[in-house]
Amino acid sequence: MTESQKIASRAIGAGLWTVGMRIIVKSVDLVMLLSLARFLDVADFGLVATAMAVVLIVEALFELPMTLGLLRAPVLVPGMLHTAFTVSLLRGSVVAAVLLALAWPLAVFNDEPRMTTLLAVLALAPAMRGLVNPRMVEFVRAFDFRPDALLELVGKLVALVLSVVIAARTGSYWAIAAATVAAPLTTTLLSYGVAPWRPRLSLTHWSYFSNLVGWNFLSQVCTAFNWQVDRLILPRLTTTTSFGHYAMGKQISEIPSQALLQPLLRPASAALISSPADQRQARYLKLSHAIVLLMLPVMGLPLLWPDVLVHLALGARWAPAAPWLRWVSVLTVLSLPVVLMPALAMTLDRTRLAMFRTLLELLIRLPVVWWGAVNFGLAGAIAGSATASSAGTLMSMLVVRRLLGVGLGRQVRAFWRPLLAILPAVALLHATRPLVMERDDLAAMVLLALSFGLAYLLLYGLSVFLLWHCAGRPAGLEHHVLAFLRRHLLRLGSVVSRTFASSSTPSNEVGKHHVEHKR
């Protein structure tokens, strides 16, 4: 096995583990969301969504890629870890201070006095994340994502228990705020137990991070507003209840990205950073193809079954959230082909190109979303976002062409197999939707939805491997998945054969002893 194949195999193994654990983590999130939806009003979700939009934007404005910076280091020395901790601590403190300063003005602007105290409490979450142990990056450098995933799972479980108890006892939106703070607090505390380390305040290696941080800050400013501009504009143009339905639909649509896409990006970025220059072009295309291959069928569910998902997960009273779940999911699909572009630009120390691309998308998004929201409400805002996302995807492909010399046609052709493979699966999902929705019994609806959903995924998987075989079995995710399964099946067979062999040995020995005794 070549070094490139070893890296790909380690990345796939890490990706499978990370995705598996992430699915479990997001399942906990989903249980918490469903539980809170039963105890709280729609308006409560609208209030917290408005406050969280501000938190996420401010936090994203000051987001620093310290992990990627440490990953790029040829040798990880203690001074780098101390500098990374100090910068992260300063960043968390600045985010918390900005949120505290904005709390009262935003409460006045939204005519919502409760937001002052709510934002003050939510400011604790980024402050806690700023204290996380940077030594955890050593696991990432070794393609071992288990500690991070386990810490996140424990944090989510603590948040689940705390939020459900508060919601059941009080029926208050403070249950969501408590969960938002409890998860990062738990994760941060446990990170120092998993990777023991005593931090010191130091900026001795600031020069190593300064260039990366400068351009990334500008890029994050634009990305934050691109991501949350609808949540800033819409509360002023719609009712709290309508915005609560929209916010719930958007929150559900983000679950696949948080459960699958984000954990996939970490090993993919690590593999991209470790790739030799002469292999970077091919590896970027293979990794992009793999991400689309895995995410496309997942996003097909909210696109074609939004009413089924909302009805099963939240109940009939949340039915108005279903259309928003569908159309917000379209935005995720539009960006799938180029999600690795920022990591590629950072790997090549060309972060400024990613920043200019994000700035141009923001300049398109702000006016079209505002115009759409003013004239057509929520539907107009989503249409404006779709226009901006399409333009952003095209610009990202142009950036990739400049960085790697890969033409637009070749980038698009990298996705032809998953796009064809999804068609029969989509037809199945579309045809079975009425059969599921016509059921009055919830248990029967769940059973049908699970059966048809499994058939949908199996049909997609069969189509993928059939098209891969017809294409000549090229190197890529399909090849690595088959090799991965073959190795583990052989290992399982070896374990089973040894177990049977060891279980038969005592009987043979007893037989020999019995014969000798008779003699």
Say if residues 358 and 219 touch (Cβ distance below 8 Å): yes
Say if residues 49 and 231 touch (Cβ distance below 8 Å): yes
User: In the prediction, which pLDDT does 513 show?
Assistant: 46
pTM of the full structure? 0.67
User: In the prediction, which pLDDT does 46 show?
Assistant: 74
User: In the prediction, which pLDDT does 206 show?
Assistant: 78
Say if residues 98 and 79 touch (Cβ distance below 8 Å): no
Structure tokens at 467: 């098209």
Q: For residue 380, which amino acid is it?
A: G
pLDDT digit string (tens) for the chain, length 519 residues: 555 555 555 655 555 666 666 677 767 777 777 777 777 777 777 777 778 777 877 776 666 667 767 776 777 788 888 888 888 888 888 888 888 888 888 888 777 788 888 888 888 888 888 788 888 888 877 767 778 778 888 888 898 888 888 888 887 888 888 888 888 889 889 989 888 888 888 888 777 776 666 566 667 677 777 777 787 788 777 877 788 788 888 878 887 877 677 777 777 776 777 777 778 888 889 888 988 998 899 898 999 999 888 888 777 778 888 899 899 899 889 989 998 888 888 778 787 888 888 889 989 998 999 999 888 888 898 999 999 999 999 999 999 999 998 999 999 998 999 999 999 999 999 999 888 888 878 888 889 999 999 999 999 999 999 999 898 888 777 877 777 677 767 776 777 677 666 655 554 544 444 444 444
Rounded to 5 degrees, what are φ and ψ at 68? -65, -35
User: In the prediction, which pLDDT does 504 show?
Assistant: 57
| DSSP label at residue 195 | S
The C-alpha atoms of residue 494 and residue 496 are separated, in whole angstroms, by 5
What are the boundaries of each domain within the chain? 10-414
Q: For residue 241, which amino acid is it?
A: T
Which three-class secondary structure state does DSSP give residue 173?
Answer: coil
Say if residues 4 and 277 touch (Cβ distance below 8 Å): no
Q: SS3 sequence, 103-168? A: HHHHHHHCCCCHHHHHHHHHCHHHHHHCCCCHHHHHHHHCCCCHHHHHHHHHHHHHHHHHHHHHHH
208-214: long-range contacts (C-beta < 8 A, 24 or more apart)?
Answer: 208/69, 208/73, 208/80, 208/83, 209/64, 209/66, 209/69, 209/83, 209/84, 209/87, 211/349, 212/65, 212/68, 212/69, 212/346, 212/349, 212/351, 213/64, 213/65, 213/69, 213/87
| DSSP label at residue 259 | I
User: In the prediction, which pLDDT does 246 show?
Assistant: 86
The C-alpha atoms of residue 295 and residue 285 are separated, in whole angstroms, by 15
CA-based nearest residue to 408, from 398, 417, 416: 398
User: In the prediction, which pLDDT does 7 show?
Assistant: 56
Say if residues 197 and 81 touch (Cβ distance below 8 Å): yes
